[in-house]
Amino acid sequence: DAGVTQSPTHLIKTRGQQVTLRCSPKSGHDTVSWYQQALGQGPQFIFQYYEEEERQRGNFPDRFSGHQFPNYSSELNVNALLLGDSALYLCASSLRGSNQPQHFGDGTRLSIL
């Protein structure tokens, strides 16, 4: 039973560029959340997708956008990259509803030069 898978594992971009990160949820899960984890910090919630729509958003600018596909997989897009966007980007999947355990992938390490 495959867990949450993310691609790519590492990515290097320059300021001003755009990036797309991908996530496949754990089998049986229909909800995908994205988190940003800076070095030495806990993950910070970016947004959650359910039924192909953004259901909730954290305190991130609209340079961060996402998409969920009919097969429940998801993409995170970041435009106009800043140096401060360098972080580990984590995808978590769960069943619909609040108070559900979220299971994480191993993340994409994004470095901005």
Partner 1 sequence: GESVGLHLPTLSVQEGDNSIINCAYSNSASDYFIWYKQESGKGPQFIIDIRSNMDKRQGQRVTVLLNKTVKHLSLQIAATQPGDSAVYFCAENIHHDYKLSFGAGTTVTVRA
Q: Which residues bind partner 1 (CB under 8 A)?
A: 4, 31, 33, 35, 40-45, 48, 55-56, 58, 90, 92, 98-99, 101-107
In contact, 86 and 107? CB cutoff 8 Å: no
- In the complex, minimum distance from the CB of residue 15 to partner 1, in angstroms, rounded to a whole number: 25
Q: Is 83 helix (H, G, I), strand (E, B) or coil?
A: helix
CA angle 107, 57, 74 (to 5 degrees): 45
Distance CA 84, CA 36 (A): 11
- In the complex, minimum distance from the CB of residue 16 to partner 1, in angstroms, rounded to a whole number: 28
Residue 7 or 14: the one with the smaller Cβ distance to partner 1 is 7
Residue 15 or 106: the one with the smaller Cβ distance to partner 1 is 106
- In the complex, minimum distance from the CB of residue 2 to partner 1, in angstroms, rounded to a whole number: 14
How far the first Cα of the chain sits from its last, in Å, is: 37
